[in-house]
Structure 1
Amino acid sequence: MSNDLVQALLLQSKACAYLGSAFHAELLNCAAADLEARGAVTPLLAPWANADPKAIMAAAVPLRLLGALHDLVLSGEDQALSAAYPQPGQTTDAQIAWREAARVIVEREAQLAAFMQHEPQTNEVRRSVCLLGGFLTIARETGLPLRCFEIAASAGLNLSWDKYSYSLGDIAWGPESPVHLPTDWSGPLPPLDAKVAVIERAACDRRPVDLTDPIQRRRLLAYVWPDQFERLDRLRAAIDLALAMETTVETADAVAWTERTAVPSPGAATVIYHSVFWQYMPAESQAALRKTIE
């Protein structure tokens, strides 16, 4: 098996540790050792055995593996694996969890492999904190209601940014909400007293997540790291709110959709936005979208 795959698992392990998931960091160390020994995980990662390091990381192979295992945990189909995974208020041993994972990989290889055929897709609600400042500034400077159009929206959870409550240090903004987004804010605050009215909201994605499908909802949750309980609770609350609002995301290319849908309307400020997408667009698509917006 390619040493590049082993190194990819170890690299992602370091990233998980840095980003606050000690469990996933250790689980990936176990997976790397298993792969070096040509253990249970070897056949599951075989599709990427001859890929170069750049392709392995571009495909997010380690995250596919982690997501597949977490999806099985969330399904409740294997009680021993679920019991070995992190639970609030309990101590977790990643070595024990990996032993259960290795068993499951052998027993359910086809099921896990099918999950891993799809690229990871997330919808991080806390990115709305970054968007908030822009929306408030636009509302203040224009004095107009907002029409919000999100590209590459995944499940569309950041369409509901004005329905969430925020804590910017000691300062609060937003309505009472089941979705609360605390953050440390440095620098000048956005105009928190700006009057905000969202009169239209729409979104697109090449491959949107259909929240009415329980399998797709679970897949979205599976890519949240299992020892980050607040993130999981926040995502579940945001999903429930989106379902209540009947949020929909259209299947479409960002450039074509923006040209067709986000046409300026008198008496409103039309805002086209994304939460971490621009850098993944081809240069020609960036140029086309910039031209459309301008």
Structure 2
Amino acid sequence: MSAALEAVQDRLRRFADEASEVSPLYSHLAAHAADDDDVAGLLTDATSPDPALLLAAVQRVLQAEPFHELTNYYPALGGAYGPDASLWPMFRTFVLDRADRIRVLVASRVPRGNEVGRAALFYPAVAYAARQAGGGPVGLLEVSACAGLLLGMDLYSYRYQSEQSGQIVAGPGRAALGLHCALKSDPGQKGPTIPKRLLVSARIGLDADPVDLDDEDEYAWLEACVWPDQPDRLRQLGAAATARRKKPPTMVTGDMVTDLAAAAGRIPLELPVVVLTSDALRPHSAERVTAFRSAVAELAAARPAYWVSLEAYSAGLISDRPELDTGQAILACTGWVAGEERTTPLAQTSWHGERMYWLT
């Protein structure tokens, strides 16, 4: 067995463990694929052998065969079956019979994530940054924006459910997309200030390869990257894409470090810039993350700017709060005072936006 295949199988096993609580379907398939040289071997053609890439490629091919029996196990494609003894043999046969098409996708694509549910986390955090900037309208600049769906956060409606305050409603009343988020804070501690409206006057998305939602193939790949036993995420994607077409952001193709200032230059100078990152730092080296932080600091030295981040604790934005290193996402706001970077952890959250534990 080659070292490359062994590495792929190890990643599949780890993926199966990580997905076990959130996606029984993908956990089941990844665990079996890890023990199957033929299926796992398809990932050795990838630039980065991410198990999610293989599974997305299979789902993309399955999208074109809506009457295949395998769709019965894919809720996003209308199925209702849970993983059982018939699933893996059927999946394996489907994959190997279409190995050439799947191999092309694995070699030419990367997993794309535009998790719209995270807008429920960013909404109060951007409102926090806007208050720091004086309370007026802001310009949003999302880095690694994919299709830029988070840039429409002011167009969505929200319902935050908390024990202390009951239900908090925000956003326009007749929004194309409504998001729900469970909100928790310590007893006696005030939760986030959530305004009825968020004032966004400019929206710029910066990505090395932005997704064109008007391209049917690109949109289908974005759908294929949504885990199929989480159909609510697929529904949210479709609703957000509809809202985005009403107020489309400006999408800029460029590098997160060297092109950050130019992208920010598209936002009128009278608007404070709120830079957004959503699990954007994880793929990059420590040196690359440091370079990005320096680029944002340079932007903040030139004009009012804040950085609202939803990143892993390991990204290093916060290093003195080891109790927050739990595997959850950390929602934070970074500002600069006299050139000194100051990051305030706002909340611990789920990665898809369902829950938020407010800290500040």
| TM-score band w.r.t. shorter chain | 0.7 to 0.9
| Alignment of structure 1 residues 88-237 onto 2, 5 Å | 90-117=80-107, 118-141=109-132, 142-169=134-161, 170-175=167-172, 176-187=174-185, 188-193=190-195, 196-237=198-239
Do the aligned residues in 1 keep the contact of 2:45 with 2:103 (CA within 8 Å)? no
1:145 maps to a residue whose letter is: P
- The 1:94/1:209 distance shift into structure 2, 3 A limit, reads farther
Do the aligned residues in 1 keep the contact of 2:260 with 2:295 (CA within 8 Å)? no
Structure 2 residues not aligned, in runs of 5+: 162-166, 302-360
SS in 1 for 2:169: strand
Q: Where is the helix percentage greater, Structure 1 or Structure 2?
A: 1
| TM-score, with length taken from structure 1 | 0.85
| TM-score, with length taken from structure 2 | 0.70
More displaced 10-residue stretch of structure 1: 8-17 or 85-94 = 85-94
Could you tell me which residue of structure 2 aligns to residue 72 of structure 1? Answer: 61
SS in 2 for 1:10: helix
- The 1:165/1:3 distance shift into structure 2, 3 A limit, reads same
- The 1:94/1:164 distance shift into structure 2, 3 A limit, reads farther
Identify the match of residue 256 of structure 2 among 254, 259, 262: 254
CA distance in 1, matches of 2:270, 2:196: 17
Do the aligned residues in 2 keep the contact of 1:72 with 1:78 (CA within 8 Å)? no
SS in 2 for 1:256: coil
Could you tell me which residue of structure 1 aligns to residue 20 of structure 2? Answer: 17
CA distance in 2, matches of 1:101, 1:15: 21
Map Cα deviations across residues 63-114 of structure 1 (whole Å, 9 max, x no partner): 1111111112223366233234336672233543332322222222121011
SS in 2 for 1:90: coil
Map Cα deviations across residues 90-146 of structure 1 (whole Å, 9 max, x no partner): 223354333232222222212101111222111001221221122212333412111
| Alignment of structure 1 residues 232-247 onto 2, 5 Å | 232-247=234-249
SS in 1 for 2:273: strand
- The 1:26/1:259 distance shift into structure 2, 3 A limit, reads same
CA distance in 1, matches of 2:90, 2:206: 39
CA distance in 2, matches of 1:184, 1:119: 31
CA distance in 1, matches of 2:196, 2:131: 5
- The 1:78/1:115 distance shift into structure 2, 3 A limit, reads farther
Identity within the alignment, %:
26
CA distance in 1, matches of 2:45, 2:271: 50
Identify the match of residue 268 of structure 1 among 259, 268, 271: 271
More displaced 10-residue stretch of structure 1: 195-204 or 117-126 = 195-204
Do the aligned residues in 1 keep the contact of 2:8 with 2:44 (CA within 8 Å)? no
Do the aligned residues in 1 keep the contact of 2:147 with 2:210 (CA within 8 Å)? yes
Q: Where is the strand percentage greater, Structure 1 or Structure 2?
A: 2
Shift of 1:150: 1.2
Could you tell me which residue of structure 2 aligns to residue 287 of structure 1? Answer: 294
How big is the alpha-carbon RMSD for the aligned residues of Structure 1 and Structure 2? 2.4
SS in 2 for 1:184: strand
**Structure with bigger RCO (C-alpha 8 Å, 6+ apart):** 1
Map Cα deviations across residues 32-65 of structure 1 (whole Å, 9 max, x no partner): 2323xxxx415423437xxxxxx9xxx3521111
Number of residue equivalences: 280
Do the aligned residues in 2 keep the contact of 1:140 with 1:194 (CA within 8 Å)? no
1:149 maps to a residue whose letter is: L
